[in-house]
Amino acid sequence: MTARIRDYMPLLKETIAEARVAGFDTAANDLEQAAFAAFTTSSEMLQEHGLAIKRFLKATHGALPRSTKAKLKACLTETELNCTGWRKLMALLNVFSEENV
């Protein structure tokens, strides 16, 4: 079964802008650089985006506004739909729970 990955880039751009407004310029620049780099394959892109989002969340030490953090977690879920094993299962469960709220 293949999972359909939604276009999360507009949401990611929005969260980068929100992070800058919240004062996280350096971390937002790092995330933006990773998000808009050139990649060989879509799998590589999704994996690198996921890693960049995780680094960004770690760098902000939980100080992001709740709405911005939720948007980033939605982006992260989309990147994890490309993974195999338990990470994909967790992403599918997140998608399913969001659709049924």
pLDDT in tens, 36-75: 999 998 888 988 999 899 999 999 988 999 999 999 999 9
- pTM greater than 0.75: yes
90-97 long-range contacts, CB within 8 A, separation 24+: 91/3, 92/3
Residue 91's pLDDT band, with cuts at 50, 70 and 90, is low
The pLDDT of residue 47: 87
Residue 31 neighbours by CB distance under 10 Å: 24
The pLDDT of residue 99: 57
The pLDDT of residue 86: 64
